[in-house]
Every structure is written in C-alpha cells, then in structure tokens.
Homo-oligomer: A and B are copies of this chain.
Amino acid sequence: MFIPVILGTAREGRRSENPAKYMVEEVKSFGAESELVDVRDYLIGRTDASGETPQAKKFIEILKRSDALIIVVPEYNHGYPGELKIMLDMAYNEYAGKPIGICGVSVGPFGGMRVVEQLRQVVIEYSMIPIREAVYFGNVGKLFDDSGTITDASYHERAQKFIANLKSSLK
C-alpha cells in the first residue's frame, strides 16, 4: 500500500513542512509506504490540464502508483493555496476511486478546518473518496519543536486513526 503525502504550499517560510513530514512517518509507522510530494517540485505557474508538462508527467506517475492520497495543506484566507490547486488540476483520470484524507494546518488554533471543507468539494469532482477523518494541526508554530519533532503525543493516535480510515476506504 503506497500513500504519498502532498505538501500543499510552496510559500517561503511555510509552516506545513513539519506536519507533512510527520504524516509521512505516521504512514510508515502504520505499515504502508509513503513519500513526500512537495508542491515546490511541481510549480508551473498557472493552470495547465494537458498533462503534458514534465511536472504533470511526474505527478501522474506518482498518482498511478498510489493506493490513496494524503494532502497536508495550510489555510490561506479560508481557502487553499493557489499552487496546490494548479498542481491538483494537472491530473484527472488518475484520481478516480482512490481514498483521500486531508490534513489542515494553521498558525492559529483552528487547524485549517475551512480549507479541508473546500478541498473536499474539489476532490469529489476528481471522483476520489474523501474520508471522514481529518488531522488538524493548529497552533503549528508551537506544535513542533526546533528539530521538527511534534510536542503533542496525542497526534500519533489521531494520525493512525486517520490512516486506518483511508485504508478501510480502499475498494
């Protein structure tokens, strides 16, 4: 079972890198394969759904190998980062039927709940299966220490429950 983790912001100074790397480790701890898919490696500047750019080809290859997806995404003004949407819109058919779990990130306490809701509407259009569980990384500045280690051990249980929900949603 291969579940890549998409890091959904390329902003300089982004705070979602720690949560995304954390989720990669949690997937491995669950007993599945994972890798970080950093939107910084897929920047094409504007929407292009042709699937013909090198970035799209690389992304589509990863999707084809995937059994399910995780997105870790900060909330920017109640919505998603534009660069993530450009990346997601590179593909279409390759998403169909795969479970997807979305993790929100915020500097404030709420963990990006609203971006999770907006993205769920998008991924249904890709024919994906959005799962009920989500992991919300609120107060992200304090949630990870300087070495990038999570400081709240309860996240392990949440993350495992989230990944179990992904697995149980496989067809």
Give chain A's interface residues, CB within 8 Å of chain B: 9-12, 39-40, 43, 45-49, 76-89, 92, 97, 109-111, 113-114, 117-122, 124-127, 129-132, 136, 168-169, 171
Contact = CB atoms under 8 A, between A and B. Distances in A.
**Closest CB pairs A-B (n = 5):** A82-B86, A82-B85, A82-B82, A10-B46, A11-B47
- Complex copy number for this chain: 4
A126 B82 contact: no
Contact of A85 (B39, B40, B79, B122): B79
Contacts of A79: 80, 85, 118-119, 121-122
A47 B12 CA distance: 8
A127 B165 CA distance: 10
A89 B76 contact: yes
B117 A121 contact: yes
21 contacts: A10-B47, A11-B49, A39-B46, A46-B83, A47-B82, A47-B83, A77-B88, A77-B122, A78-B125, A79-B118, A79-B121, A80-B85, A82-B86, A97-B168, A109-B109, A110-B113, A114-B117, A121-B121, A129-B169, A130-B130, A169-B171
Contacts of A47: 9-11, 76, 81-83
A43 B43 contact: no
Contact of A81 (B85, B121, B136): B85
Contacts of A130: 124, 130
Given A10-B47, A47-B9, A82-B46, A125 B132 contact: yes
